Amino acid sequence: MTVHNLYIFDRNGNCLYYNEWNRKKQAGISKEEEYKLMYGMLFSIRSFVSKMSPLDMKDGFLSFHTSKYRLHYYETPSGLKFVMNTDLSVSNARETLQHIYSNLYVEYIVKNPVCVLGQSLDSELFSSRLDAFIRALPYYSPRAA
Amino acid sequence: MVIYSVYVVNKAGGLIYQYDNYVPRAEAEKTFSYPLDLILKHHDEKVIVSFGQRDGIRVGHAVLSINGVDVMGKSTAEGKDILEYLKDPSNYPVSIRFGRARLSSNEKLMLASMFHSLFAIGSQLSPEVGSSGIEMLETDVFKLHCYQTLTGIKFIVLADPRQSGIDALLRKIYEIYSDFALKNPFYSLEMPIRCELFDQNLKSSLEVAEKAGNFGAGS
């Protein structure tokens, strides 16, 4: 039971924040390229889902899983995208992501007069609180190598 | 508990089979008087609602028919441009039917290839070693399940989120594919599947899976 990594993207596709906790395999490309690929994949998945869907959707794309990991997705109405990769035992992390948005992002970034929205989040307080929050999650456990 | 559709994609990413088992038609027909309170725009050879969601007409819905006559793309059946037609007060009151636009074959081909690429990217971006591609994609109204065989063929099923037993169904579809498409001497590999027995057996196994899914999720 573990969280691998977390990305936060803004509405233009810029990666505002990235952190990893238990990542075993790097993507083999530079971090910038990986952010762009991740954002591009999510953008395409959203467009794919809106065309494929047999009925009108309310929340849209929620998550996907492969044989080894699960990707959870949460998008705010302002276009901010929260993406979290966990292992397969975590079935629903939507509330976690909503909590990260409303209790961490809004509190420590939006309400911070020094932080410029749209640029990389470099608030120490935000990073440390987010890290503490993730480590405190019931499904997080630092995996033994 | 429904299974909406089945897609089969070959190893190059091309769609070789597609079957729509259940297509829910959520449509709304209303009579309007001048001026029209919805904002319509051209998108992809269709006229869709861009603003003015109300009464079952959602943003993204396409104009399906005007005064009972089905439209053809951006123009009415007589060939007049729809937006021009609706700007003319003398054509009112007019009855327009809106609904989700049905996917054309070309769009299905493009979507299947798009998923083929997304499947591969899902595997590449994996934080764990040895991950497969996307096996299940979940939204609030449907779940997309994908099974990739060792030969690279992908069987994709779109179903209701509560439907169970889809993994067994995907294996069964693979079995039907190998029995009625691969063993057919007139079928060429990686080409579109046009085998009647494949269609028939696929339909019956979908019915079985829907019924079995009902028992499973009933408790």
Domain-embedded: residue B217:
no
- CB contact (8 A) between residue A24 and residue B128: yes
Backbone angles phi, psi at A64, to 5 degrees: -140, 160
Q: Which residues partner with B27 through β-bridges?
A: B99
The residue count for chain B? 219
Rounded Cα distance, A122 and A109, in Å: 9
pLDDT given at position B73:
81
Q: Which residues partner with A26 through β-bridges?
A: none
Number of domains in chain B: 2
- CB contact (8 A) between residue B134 and residue A27: no
- CB contact (8 A) between residue A64 and residue B122: yes
Domain-embedded: residue A66:
yes
pLDDT given at position B5:
95
Structure letter (DSSP) for residue B90: G
Domain-embedded: residue B80:
yes
A38-74 CB burial, b ≥16 within 10 A, e <16 = bbebbeebbebbebbbbebbeeebbbbbbebbbbbbb
Number of domains in chain A: 1
Same domain assignment for residues B55 and B148 = no
B10-29 CB burial, b ≥16 within 10 A, e <16 = beebebbbbbebeeeeeeee
Same domain assignment for residues B43 and B80 = yes
Interface membership of A48 toward B (CB under 8 Å):
yes
| 112-131 in chain B: CB under 8 A from chain A | 114-115, 117-118, 121-131
Domain, as residue range, for A45: 3-136
Same domain assignment for residues B201 and B139 = yes
pLDDT given at position B199:
95
Same domain assignment for residues B109 and B34 = no
pLDDT given at position B206:
94
Domain-embedded: residue B218:
no
Rounded Cα distance, B96 and B108, in Å: 26
Q: Which of A52, A67, A87 to mutate to test the interface with B (most CBs of B within 10 A)?
A: A52
Other CB atoms within 10 A of residue B123 CB = 17
Model confidence pLDDT, tens digit, residues A34-84: 999 999 999 999 999 999 998 888 889 999 999 999 999 999 999 999 999
Whether the per-residue pLDDT at A143 is higher than 70: the answer is no
Same domain assignment for residues B170 and B79 = no
Domain-embedded: residue A143:
no
Which of B40, B74, B99 is where one domain is finished?
B99
- CB contact (8 A) between residue A67 and residue B129: no
- Residue A144: pLDDT band (50, 70, 90) is very low
Rounded Cα distance, B152 and B177, in Å: 13
Distance of CA B212 to the CA centre of its chain: 23
Residues lower than pLDDT 50 in chain B: 218-219
Residue A14 · residue A29 · CB < 8 Å? no
Model confidence pLDDT, tens digit, residues A108-141: 888 888 888 878 888 888 999 999 999 998 888 7
Provide the CATH number for the domain around residue B70: 2.30.42.40
pLDDT given at position B179:
94
Domain-embedded: residue B148:
yes
Give the mean pLDDT of chain A.
Answer: 90
Same domain assignment for residues B19 and B31 = no
Domain-embedded: residue B175:
yes
Other CB atoms within 10 A of residue A33 CB = 11
- CB contact (8 A) between residue B141 and residue A53: yes
Provide the CATH number for the domain around residue A14: 3.30.450.70
pLDDT given at position B11:
94
Domain, as residue range, for B32: 27-99
pLDDT given at position B181:
94
Domain-embedded: residue B219:
no
